[in-house]
Amino acid sequence: MKIHLILTVLVTLASCQKQQHDYLLKVYKGKFDEVGVESGYINTKGDTVIPVGRYLYCYTDTLRDFAIVTQKKGKAIGIDRNERELFEVFWFDNGPDPVAEGLFRIVREGKIGYANKQGEVVIAPQYACAFPFQDGKAKVAYQCETISEGEHFRWESQAWIQIDKQGTKRLMH
């Protein structure tokens, strides 16, 4: 397994150098396909940029614009190449919020907004509750109640609104 991983990294590095890409690749300590295994990032020359173990886990395999990592205190965040924290990533089920229609949910000061796959905040965090986008719309509320149902929860609000991908409010049908 270790030899396979080293060969994979070397082939990937050779490909990146040939194409002269300027991004970082995730490297692992231990089994590479398990969540929770210490990981970090190297550049296309093989130099360590973000040391293995700096974060609890690195979710993003190839750091182009930004990466999602888990801090040792357990919070998932988006970082840039210089490890500047861009935002907290909304935690859904057992991991970072998945991308839906090009956007995923982020959190800042307890409010939810949306970022795109390039790590750009496209709708500033302002909602107490916000669902993923579906058919170009997302259901959001400025005020809501979180109802715990065992290990899961649901949101209730008397004032749901719908927004489009630019954050423009739309009438709910």
Residue 100 and residue 64 share a domain: no
- Provide the domain limits for residue 172: 90-173
Report the 10 Å Cβ neighbour count for 20.
7
Burial of 157 (0-12, 13-18, 19+ CB in 10 A): middle
Do strands 39-42 and 24-28 pair parallel, antiparallel, or not at all (unpaired)?
antiparallel
Residue 19 and residue 75 share a domain: yes
Band the pLDDT of 17: cuts 50, 70, 90: very low
Residue 74 and residue 22 share a domain: yes
Residue 113 and residue 65 share a domain: no
Kind and range of the H or E run holding 19: helix 2-19
Report the 10 Å Cβ neighbour count for 18.
9
pLDDT of amino acid 15: 47
53-104 pLDDT, tens per residue?
A: 899 889 999 999 999 999 988 899 999 989 999 999 999 988 899 999 999 9
Residue 96 and residue 82 share a domain: no
Residue 120 and residue 94 share a domain: yes
pTM above 0.85, yes or no: no
Residue 94 and residue 65 share a domain: no
Total number of domains constituting the chain: 2
125-169 pLDDT, tens per residue?
A: 999 999 999 999 999 999 999 998 888 889 999 999 999 999 999
Residue 82 and residue 5 share a domain: yes
